[in-house]
Structure 1
């Protein structure tokens, strides 16, 4: 059985921008490793992969939670017709972070130039709001009423 979420991995073209973005949400850089072929590359099905693997840890999270960034030496080509914030696409949809004060967190993010993608919505005893993160990924803030 699953115990809890452990990490989310995001491929990025600009690791510094992504690190700064996730720092706004309380993540700190914990570990950086270089993948240059070898076991990690074979495990991921890309034996010739060259990338920086950057682990960001959410400070104070219990249980432990990480965002793992992959900054490829040669970023893979992107499909200009499939923008990551398109919530109807198949595959990865969005990541959600629980917060205590959605209004304060929203103000903090907007003040730091983060693009809001939706107005706040009340849904099933929680407040929700969508934002655009690094590489155009969609992330959501969740404030539960419990």
Structure 2
């Protein structure tokens, strides 16, 4: 598989993170995976393997795992999972058995959230990834044609729903228009996982303290981003946006607020077994330090450190209720972010 230079693509993209680098000493080594609850594990893995070039890593089962029971709020949770990777990051697809009534009744997440709203694939335009998404059954959310939000940058955007109505952003980069002297490295990568919030200042404050990144890249905080091209992507008339980005070595966290379409937080957090992006699991070196940082930043602890996947994990929530895992695993474990040498920028 041909590869696109990660650093170059991020620099070209609208929300590329060019904020301050990680401090020399940090407990955060990267992001192990993003959890994705799906209705049909085989269908989802085949779909993303075909259209986004995700590679199979490992299948596993979650059964009689106390920390998963704690997240679900009931005992006897069972799920089949499949870990799949791109060039810089990975997804853990989860098919839960006997989903709760609340999970079954949960509505789809809209582009303005709330919570973990979408995943972004950034790819070479020549791969025709967006066209392959559509051919495989994905549904455009905005205009069918991709939008170029900045005419000075050869980057084109679109949002789609997959079969489970999970939102995927596709970014096509026209490499030929760059006239590069050095051949690119990667054709595919997972660029970011996006959190939609009703209060971007609060979210930025939380993640700045949690991740020790005091000056993340921000766009739209003085004047909201708007215009026809943004409407074409979001499918929403009169879109007005504000962004912030945090680079956690191998994967980017995007914080987004739709000022034009207010996000409302639910009374209770979304069930872990509801269809959608259900967790972000950080790779850390010290669980006690991670817990301290979570609480000091304004988050809450959901479950204390317990065994999972050959390591230890604790879970918490950010001020919007998004589920965050903090996991210690060996560097050679399949779940470890250390399997990726690129920094995602």
Q: Which ranges of structure 2 fall in alignment gaps of 5 or more residues?
A: 1-52, 54-85, 90-190, 332-345
Q: 1:80 to 1:16 in 2, by over 3 A?
A: closer
Match of 1:67 in 2: 253
Which structure has the higher relative contact order (CA within 8 Å, separation 6+)? 2
Match of 2:303 in 1: 118
Residue 226 of structure 2, aligned match among 36, 49, 59: 36
Match of 2:314 in 1: 129
Q: 1:69 to 1:78 in 2, by over 3 A?
A: same
Match of 1:142 in 2: 327
Deviation at 1:91, TM superposition (A): 1.1
Distance 1:77 1:22 in 2: 19
Q: 2:174 aligned with 1:90, yes or no?
A: no
Deviation at 1:56, TM superposition (A): 2.6
Q: 2:87 aligned with 1:3, yes or no?
A: yes
Q: Number of residue pairs matched?
A: 141
Deviation at 1:35, TM superposition (A): 2.4
Deviation at 1:38, TM superposition (A): 2.5
What is the TM-score normalised by the length of structure 1?
Answer: 0.81
Distance 1:11 1:78 in 2: 10
- Alpha carbons 1:99, 1:141 under 8 Å: kept: yes
- Alpha carbons 1:35, 1:52 under 8 Å: kept: yes
Cα-Cα RMSD: 2.2
Q: 1:108 to 1:55 in 2, by over 3 A?
A: closer
Output one character per residue of 1:47-92: Cα deviation in whole Å (capped at 9) or x when no partner.
431111222333xx2x3x32111111144464746x3342122112
- After superposing on structure 2, the runs of 4+ consecutive aligned residues of structure 1 that deviate more than 3 Å are 74-81
Q: 1:136 to 1:52 in 2, by over 3 A?
A: same
Deviation at 1:109, TM superposition (A): 1.9
Deviates more, 1:110-119 or 1:38-47: 38-47
Q: 1:67 to 1:77 in 2, by over 3 A?
A: closer
Q: 1:69 to 1:113 in 2, by over 3 A?
A: closer
- Alpha carbons 1:85, 1:138 under 8 Å: kept: no
- Alpha carbons 1:36, 1:48 under 8 Å: kept: yes
What is the TM-score normalised by the length of structure 2?
Answer: 0.37
